[in-house]
Amino acid sequence: MVRRSMNRNQLHDQNLKFVLQQIFNNHPTSRIEISHQLHLNKSTVSSLYNTLMAEGYLTELGLGEASTAGGRKPTLVEINQNYGYTLTFDLGYRHLHALATRLDGHVWQYDRIETKDQSIHEMVARIQQYIADTQAADTSSNGLLGICFSIHGIVMNNKVVTSPFIKMDGVDLEQVFTDAYQVPVVLENEANLSAVYERDFNGARNLNSAVTISIHRGIGAGVILHRDLFRGEHGDAGEIGRTVASLQFDDAGNARPIHAEDICSEDAIIQQVEERKGLSNLDRDDIVRLYKDGDAETTRILKTFVTGIAGLIYNTMRTLDPDAFFLNSPLVEELPGILDDIRIAYRKLSENDDRGIELTNNARLATVLGGCSLITHRVLNLNGYELNFTRPKAKDTEI
């Protein structure tokens, strides 16, 4: 008797999640449409619907059109934007990217905050101030619902394992922010979040597997296999920037590995151009300008970059065999002709393999939007359920 009751409760909870998923993915929709899509009877859907409505997750929009067979006009419904909001912070070396989104995934506000040379303690204080500002401006029913952090390093079990660009100094982000705000706090690698963005917002919606290669200060890959994020047993999956590209020997015959990101990351490119040209304090904009001006040294360095990235894609293809690749690279976004060069170099290596190599649209937002998906899944208790988000319009994310 107890087992039957538990199974009944489990079925109820599962159907409740299915209904919530349907409303999230098909807004606006109606109870009759949900009934058709889930093959549940109308009374079951109405009971589940009323539960979600009572909990405040839904808002009714009025009457829709009657079916061609006639009958009553259905009541249209969607996720209640005013239920609350989530926050995602990308802890970059130079900037803190902050994104506030409503429960349905629509962008409320986006900000980029200068944090170069700040300690993790200063960044935490700035994040807490940002949260206080959003709480003061918020008019939703439940306020802050959850926080996601995008980490440029390895994350395992919601802890930062390695952080090569920001010294964590013992700061446990999950504990600090859970204690302060009493909401779910999720940490994830930034390349993994870029892959989630492609799956849930962008070009990989209809793909079973995809790899997103993130090229910034380092190089990492987010891997989607069978629609799920693949992290590996220790969180190291996708650390392709650390793969050995060559060995350098000293006079004693000792080998030093040269990693892929030592050659092909954005920082590596800037460093090489500075060394070749005797310059200092260059940034991405300077590299773009020099390349467009036809500078010979910059052109040669970027040619090596093309070959290196094509090689990484080829090696990853041989290992994982995904449906497609996406490049999250602000540099390539600024110089789109390089993408064609990468495709050509890859096809030569792969003997004309024609799988897609695409550029991530709006690369600066990919990680924080991926974080929006991750924390929204958590807040709605829909981990493992596919949610389709709408990519924001440019005006929604202007700084």
* Predicted pLDDT at 2: 40
Q: Work out the percent of the chain whose per-residue pLDDT is above 70.
A: 95
d(CA 230, CA 223): 5
Q: Which amino acid is at 52?
A: L
Closest CA to 368 of 342, 349, 396, 340: 396
Please give the Cα distance from 372 to 19 (Å, whole number): 21
Integer angstrom CA distances of residue 375 from 54, 104, 276, 371: 22, 11, 44, 6
Compute CA distances 65 → 31, 39, 70, 80, whole Å.
Answer: 13, 21, 9, 21
Cis status, amide bond into 28, omega within 30 of 0: yes
User: Residue 382: what pLDDT?
Assistant: 96
The amino acid present at 301, given as its one-letter code, is: I
User: What confidence score (pLDDT) does residue 1 get?
Assistant: 38
Which residue's entry shows tokens 């538990």? 6
Answer whether 326's CB lies under 8 Å from 358's CB. yes
What pLDDT score was predicted for residue 340? 97
Task: Look up residue 197 and give its two tokens.
Answer: 């963005």
Token pair, residue 40, equals 């549940």
Please, what is the end-to-end C-alpha distance for the chain in angstroms?
A: 59
pLDDT in tens, 325-384: 999 999 999 999 999 999 999 999 999 899 999 999 888 899 999 999 999 999 999 999
pTM: 0.91
How high is the pLDDT of residue 247? 87
CA 247 → CA 189, 202, 243, 253, distances in Å?
28, 38, 11, 11
Integer Cα distance of 360 and 267 in angstroms: 20
Which of 207, 213, 209, 208 has the alpha carbon at shortest distance from 194?
213
**71-95 per-position pLDDT tens digit:** 678 889 999 999 999 999 999 888 9
Of 308, 311, 303, 313, the C-alpha closest to 273 is 303
- The larger pLDDT score, comparing residue 295 to residue 6, is at 295
pLDDT at 68 over 80: no
Q: Give which of 375, 382, 371, 393 is closest to 22, Cα–Cα.
A: 382
Q: How far apart are CA 88 and CA 197, in angstroms?
A: 13
Contact 314, 346 (CB under 8 A): yes
pLDDT tens track for 163-219: 998 999 999 999 999 999 999 999 999 999 999 999 999 878 889 999 999 999 899
Output the pLDDT for position 3.
41
pLDDT digits (tens, 9 = 90+) for 129-162: 999 999 999 999 999 999 999 999 999 999 999 9
Residues 257-289 pLDDT 10s: 999 999 999 999 999 999 999 999 999 999 999
Which pLDDT score, from 0 to 100, does residue 63 have?
79
Count of Cβ atoms closer than 10 Å to residue 392 Cβ: 19
Token pair of 218 as six digits:
């380092």
253: amino acid identity, one letter: G
| Amino acid symbol at 290 | L
